[in-house]
């Protein structure tokens, strides 16, 4: 089991909390909550050791396309999810945050 942490610049805090996915074989759980203004913190708990560079590349790409992202704390609990599942769960979480902000 490995824990990997990243930090990215952000705007104002997200408007609510989100939970998508499950911790189970080949899946991923994403917990998102409002963060400190100006920062997004990412914590990945993964069953796959030695994959920090792949996780960094994924989040670097994601946040490069979200220059106005809300400040949040993201916790990912991974149990061997494929890149497609990871991306899908992150997109689900981001979409739910946008919906909450629009209320």
Segments making up each domain of the chain, as ranges: 2-101
Task: Report the distance separating Cα 38 and Cα 9, nearest Å.
Answer: 6
83 phi and psi angles, rounded to 5 deg: -55, -35
Task: Report the distance separating Cα 13 and Cα 24, nearest Å.
Answer: 29
Task: Report the distance separating Cα 32 and Cα 89, nearest Å.
Answer: 11
pLDDT at 101: 79
pLDDT at 46: 93
pLDDT tens digit sequence for 26-49: 789 999 999 999 999 999 999 888
pLDDT at 15: 87
Among left, alpha and beta (phi > 0; psi -120 to 50; other), residue 26 is left
The Cα diameter of the chain in Å comes to 40
pLDDT at 57: 94
The parts of the chain modelled with pLDDT lower than 70 are 103
Q: Which of 91, 95, 7, 80 is nearest to 43 (CA)?
A: 7
pLDDT at 103: 58
């Amino acid at each position: 089991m490995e824990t990997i942490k990243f930090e990215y610049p952000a705007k104002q805090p997200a408007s609510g909390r989100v939970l998508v996915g499950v911790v189970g074989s080949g899946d991923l759980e994403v917990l998102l909550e409002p963060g400190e203004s100006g920062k997004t913190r990412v914590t990945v708990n993964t069953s796959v050791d030695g994959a920090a560079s792949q996780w960094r590349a994924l989040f670097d790409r994601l946040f490069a396309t979200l220059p106005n992202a809300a400040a949040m704390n993201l916790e990912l609990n991974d149990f061997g999810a494929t890149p497609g599942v990871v991306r899908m769960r992150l997109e689900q979480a981001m979409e739910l945050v946008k919906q909450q902000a629009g209320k």
